[in-house]
């Protein structure tokens, strides 16, 4: 029988989680500035899986931990404190919760266990050239032929597309109606003819995201999630607690610690001008941490996560950018070097966190789009 983690006292659960992450997560996977390949993180994923600790928010009946909101917060806090890598986000925090909320019983039975066992690695096929912020503009078309959809088109910015065994995608299934009304949500395996995955090199030199070309690709009709032409609503399914991860102050705190090390090593720490800017950033990160804490606590007492999620996303991503900007500036010539540099006997990567902090203001709805949402819905400004 599954352990009832919620029956443990919070302090006991916290100690248990801290110990588990600390003992089992390999040192070399911790506090890495960028996302790691599946082949690298898989052993850690499997260690979590064996413990039944892969999916803290999923219900127990679907193999999750079924944690109460308070216990989920503790899990996230201890996970982040350990520096363990975030992985399989599309499977665990996106598709899984969507299937649990909106999928059919057969889809849940077929796919959820394979996410938890690490057998399936899902990638997200939403964006297309000319369909990013204006996602409803997507043109990849799916035509129903018997029991199968035949899909043609192109996806882009598919994170870790080359690691994917499966894709969940938004496709156009009706051109004759309003844009949003003709979109469906389908799932298909990536190991079939007609799929070409081409990595795109980003500013840090990493090849994390991909273009994915789809030519006569097949998705079984039973792998349509929700109704035909009902994909827009599925994609907008509110994922509640899963979104908490993206507002965490973790990356800003890591960058702040690096900034202090670099500044102490090269003497900037003693300068008044630096101290002014550093102190302001410490306050900014504290503000972010307080906002994060407040929203997480309000979720944990059952309140919704409405427009504040836009505010949190903007604050978290822009704070991190400001810290990493000062980090690069203070590091001087070292700030222009890619990879680890030797600073006061320690190897520190200064440039990668700066480069890696660019993307988060774009994905998950760019910060400009978040500002539009706040302007319209909070301030009542014209759209």
Ligand X SMILES: Cc1cc2nc3c(=O)[nH]c(=O)nc-3n(C[C@H](O)[C@H](O)[C@H](O)COP(=O)(O)OP(=O)(O)OC[C@H]3O[C@@H](n4cnc5c(N)ncnc54)[C@H](O)[C@@H]3O)c2cc1C
Point out the residues that are catalytic.
242
359 binds ligand X (CB under 6 A): yes
CB of 220 to ligand X, least distance (A): 22
**Piece in contact with ligand X (CB under 6 A), picked from 7-15, 20-28, 123-131, 213-221:** 123-131
Q: In whole angstroms, what is the distance from residue 111 CA to residue 95 CA?
A: 10
Residue 211 DSSP symbol? E
Q: From the CB of 118, what's the least distance to ligand X, in Å?
A: 19
In the bound state with ligand X, the residue whose beta carbon lies nearer, of 8 and 86, is 86
Q: Are 246 and 313 in contact (CB under 8 A)?
A: yes
Stretch that binds ligand X, among 264-272, 334-342, 347-355, 363-371 (CB under 6 A): 363-371
Helices (runs of H) and strands (runs of E) counted in the chain: 12, 10
Nearest to ligand X of 168, 241 (CB atom): 168
Crossing angle for the helix pair 250-266 and 308-330, to the nearest 10 degrees: 20
Pattern 155-194, ligand X, x by CB under 6 A? --xxx-----------------------------------
Q: Binder to ligand X among 8, 369, 373, 374 (CB under 6 A)?
A: 369
3-state secondary structure (DSSP) of residue 48: helix
Residue 117: alpha-carbon gap to chain centroid: 19
Strands 122-125 and 166-172: parallel
By beta-carbon proximity to ligand X, the closer residue of 63 and 125 is: 125
Select 155 or 258, whichever has its Cβ closest to ligand X: 155
CB atoms within 10 A of CB 311: 18
CB of 116 to ligand X, least distance (A): 21
Binding mask 65-104 for ligand X (x = CB under 6 A): ----------------------------------------
- Give CA–CA dist 369/374, Å, rounded: 9
Dihedral over Cα of 193, 167, 224, 144: its sign = negative
Interface region with ligand X, contact rule CB under 6 A, candidates 60-68, 191-199, 254-262, 367-375: 367-375
Among 126, 188, 232, 354, binds ligand X (CB under 6 A): 126
* 133 touching ligand X, by CB under 6 A: yes
Q: Which of 209, 232, 278, 354 binds ligand X (CB under 6 A)?
A: 209
Whether residue 171 contacts residue 186, with contact meaning beta carbons closer than 8 Å, is answered with: yes
* φ/ψ of residue 128, rounded to 5: -140, 165
**Cα torsion through 233, 234, 235, 239, rounded to 10:** 110
- Which distant-in-sequence residues (6+ apart) come within 8 Å of 119 by Cβ? 165
Residue numbers of the site for ligand X (CB under 6 A)?
Answer: 124-127, 132-133, 157-159, 209, 359, 362-363, 366, 368-369, 372
């Amino acid at each position: 029988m599954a352990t009832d983690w919620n029956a443990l006292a919070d302090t006991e659960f916290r100690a248990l989680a801290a110990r588990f992450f600390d003992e089992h997560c390999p040192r070399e996977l911790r506090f890495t500035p960028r996302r790691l390949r599946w082949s690298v993180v898989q052993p850690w994923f499997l260690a979590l899986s064996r413990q039944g600790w892969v999916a803290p928010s999923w219900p127990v009946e679907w193999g999750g931990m079924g944690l109460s909101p308070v216990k989920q917060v503790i899990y996230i806090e201890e996970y982040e404190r350990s520096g363990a890598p975030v992985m399989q986000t599309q499977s665990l925090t996106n598709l899984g919760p969507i299937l649990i909320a909106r999928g059919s019983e057969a889809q849940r039975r077929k796919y959820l266990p394979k996410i938890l066992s690490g057998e399936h690695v899902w990638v997200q096929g939403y964006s297309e050239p000319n369909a990013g912020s204006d996602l409803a503009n997507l043109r990849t078309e799916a035509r129903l032929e018997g029991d199968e959809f035949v899909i043609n088109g192109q996806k882009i910015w598919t994170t870790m597309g080359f690691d994917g065994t499966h894709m969940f995608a938004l496709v156009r299934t009706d051109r004759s109606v309003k844009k949003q009304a003709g979109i469906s949500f389908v799932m298909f395996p990536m190991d079939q003819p007609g799929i070409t995955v081409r990595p795109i090199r980003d500013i840090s030199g990493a090849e994390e995201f991909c273009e994915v070309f789809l030519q006569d690709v097949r998705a079984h009709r039973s792998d349509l999630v929700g109704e035909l032409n009902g994909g827009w609503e599925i994609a907008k399914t509110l994922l509640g607690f899963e979104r908490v991860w993206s507002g965490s102050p973790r990356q800003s705190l890591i960058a702040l610690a690096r900034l202090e090390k670099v500044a102490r090593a090269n003497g900037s720490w003693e300068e008044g001008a630096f101290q002014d800017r550093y102190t302001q950033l410490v306050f900014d990160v504290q503000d972010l941490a307080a906002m994060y804490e407040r929203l997480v606590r309000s979720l944990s007492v059952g309140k919704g996560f409405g427009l504040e999620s836009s505010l949190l996303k903007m604050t978290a991503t822009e704070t991190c950018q400001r810290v990493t900007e000062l980090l690069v500036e203070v590091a001087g010539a070292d700030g222009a070097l890619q990879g680890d540099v030797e600073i006061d006997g320690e190897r520190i990567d200064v440039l990668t966190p700066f480069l890696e902090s660019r993307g988060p203001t774009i994905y998950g709805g760019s910060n400009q789009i978040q500002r539009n949402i706040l302007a319209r819905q909070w301030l009542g400004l014209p759209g």
